Amino acid sequence: RDFWRSRDRVARAPAIARADIPTLLWSGWHEPGALGSLDLYTVLQNVAAGRSATGPITKGESVSGKYQVIIGD
């Protein structure tokens, strides 16, 4: 378990956002990481905006162009 826990992208996302690293996520709807990309995008946006890392991004909340996600086939 420690092996996989140390590679958890979503768990490491707050450190990426705090380090101010621009990130482009790219995956397809039928790829195994598609949902993980959306989770990672949400955490990056939330931490950058000072919101709870695990909360939803709701209508009217700001997002940063520094973190982007492309999902498509």
For 11, 26, 43, the CA distances from 51, given in Å and listed in that order, are 15, 24, 9
> Residue 33 in 3-state DSSP?
coil
pLDDT tens per residue, the chain (73 residues)?
788 877 788 888 888 888 988 999 988 888 776 678 888 999 999 999 999 988 999 999 999 999 999 988 8
pTM of this prediction? 0.82
